[in-house]
Structure 1
Amino acid sequence: MADMLHNAICAMSLEEEEPLTLPDRPRFRVIDENERSLLGRLLNPDCQSMAKMIEYLPTAWRVYGRVWGIALSRDRFQFVFQREEDLQTMLQDRPWSYNHWTMMLERWTTNPPEGFLQSMSLWIRIRNIPPIFYTAETMYKLASEVGKVEEINYDPKISQTKEYIRAMITFDVANPVKATRKLNVPSGGTVTIEFEYEKIHRRCFHCLRLTHEKIRCPLLRRGHGNDRRVIHDRFLTYSNAM
Structure 2
Amino acid sequence: MSRPRSAHMADLKGKGICYEEDDEPIQLTDQGDSPTIRDYKLSLIGKVLNPKKQSVVKLIQTMPAQWEMQDKITANDLGNGKFLLNFATEEDLQSVLRQGPFHYNFCMFVLVRWEPVVHDEYPWIIPFWVEITGIPLHLWTIGNLKNIGKRLGHIDTVELSAGRMLIDVDTRRPLTFKRKIASPEGDEALCPTKVTPLAVQGERSNVFSRRE
TM-score bucket of the superposed structures, by smaller chain: 0.7 to 0.9
Q: Structure 1 pair 65/132, CA: closer, same or farther in 2 (3 Å)?
A: same
Alignment identity in percent? 23
- The residue type paired with residue 130 of structure 1 is P
Cα distance in structure 1, aligned partners of 2:81 and 2:75: 13
Query: What is the aligned partner in structure 2 of residue 149 from structure 1?
Result: 155
Does 2:140 align with 1:134? Answer: yes
The answer to whether the 8 A contact 1:154-1:166 is kept is yes
- Distance in 1, Cα, partners of 2:15 & 2:137: 71
- Cα 1:186–1:31 change in 2 (3 A) is closer
Among candidates 80, 89, 114, match of residue 74 of structure 1: 80
- Answer yes or no: is the 8 Å Cα contact 1:38–1:79 preserved in 2: yes
> Aligned Cα RMSD in Å?
3.6
Shift of 1:185: 2.8
TM score, norm. by length of structure 1: 0.65
Q: Give the TM-score normalised by the residue count of structure 2.
A: 0.73
Unaligned runs of 5+ in 1: 209-242
Q: Deviations over 1:8-42 (max 9, x none)?
A: 648955949xx7x9xx9xxxx75654222111111
Match of 1:57 among 53, 56, 63: 63
Count of residues in Structure 1 that have an aligned counterpart in Structure 2: 190
CA contact (8 A) 1:41 1:117 kept: yes
Q: CA contact under 8 A between 1:38 and 1:108: conserved in structure 2?
A: yes
Q: Which residue of 2 aligns with 1:211?
A: none
1:27-79 deviations in Å (ceiling 9; x for gaps): xx756542221111111111111111011011111111111111011311001
**Pair 1:112 & 2:117 matched:** yes
**Cα 1:183–1:203 shift into 2, 3 Å:** closer
Q: Give the conservation status (yes or no) of the 8 Å contact 1:178–1:195.
A: no
The answer to whether the Cα contact below 8 Å between 2:175 and 2:210 also exists between their aligned partners in 1 is: no
* Distance change >3 Å, CA 203–CA 46, structure 1 → 2: farther
Amino acid corresponding to residue 106 of structure 2 in structure 1: H
